[in-house]
Amino acid sequence: MSVTVRVPAKVNVQLAVGGARPDGFHDLANVFLAVGLYDEVTVEPADELTLTCTGPGSDQVPLDRTNLAARAAIALAERHGLGDPTVRIHIAKDIPVAGGMAGGSADAAGALVACDALWGTGASRAELLDICAELGSDVPFSLVGGAALGTGRGEKLQPLEVGGEFWWVFAVADGGLSTPAVYREFDRLSPEAPEPVASPALLDALRTGDVRRLAATVTNDLQPAALSLFPSLKETLDAGTAAGAVAALVSGSGPTTAFLAADEAAARGVADGLAASGTCRAVRVAGSPAPGATVLSGN
């Protein structure tokens, strides 16, 4: 028997970051939007916990117990007294790796849902979300998808209404950025960061499906830190804007950059312009919002 779960990437249409807390985390007002780029996570019985991975960037994915997908299986097994999980987890990557699009978090949510189905543990939605929050700040959203406001360190979710479809272009950088390093640079650049608050205008733009209003309100407080550590990202942002994007920003902690387009046809044009610019390694187009972790098959 095996179970396959599809999980989406995300873009942060607003990432408001407060100062560092005593526990080292930062309070956030994080408006997540799931986008139609997916990883697929398949689990099946095995003699011991093993991981395999295929797809773009798979050589950068750890295949030991530090992988969030492995940690998700271990956490669910511990909760239900199953001992060490005896499963093979296979991750088919399509979400850019180390790109600020929560690919690792998505894989954790996928493994959690898949193992729950495989083992018949019958975990409630609340229990799954609780395990997700223990695994990482972005993991709960990977489970629920759609759109949501994340507060606390991003793990406390409030679902948001989205009144239309938004089209994005993602430019994958040639290189990576460490999320902890980006936050350290944020602390250096913003020692007196104000309390993070979600933008009412942005939330209303999502609710009404107004792409122009959304374009005017997207923000990422980590962008100056990401640009400080990876200055060439500015060339990519400028190239996407020149190609017709109505908004351009660093995705999460980067180094992937995200471009909002007026519609699907415009997104294709932005993608072509970015691909021709020579400022990025790869370009992807995706619509949003997208569903969260979804069981595709079990046999």
Catalytic residue among 10, 27, 116, 221: 10
Q: Which two tokens stand for residue 125?
A: 């939605």
Known catalytic membership, residue 94: no
Q: Which residue has the tokens 């079990």?
A: 298
Tell me the one-letter amino acid at 5.
V
Query: Do 8 and 138 meet the contact criterion of CB atoms below 8 Å apart?
Result: no
Query: Do 131 and 72 meet the contact criterion of CB atoms below 8 Å apart?
Result: yes
Distance CA 65, CA 74 (A): 9
Known catalytic membership, residue 10: yes
Q: Beta-strand (E) ranges in 48-172?
A: 50-54, 87-92, 147-151, 156-159, 166-172
Catalytic residue among 64, 138, 210, 234: 138
Within a 10 A sphere around the Cβ of 238, how many other Cβ atoms? 13
DSSP 209: T
Environment class of 22 (CB within 10 Å of its CB; exposed 0-12, middle 13-18, buried 19+): exposed
Is omega for the bond preceding 289 within 30 degrees of 0, making it cis?
yes
Residues annotated as catalytic are: 10, 138
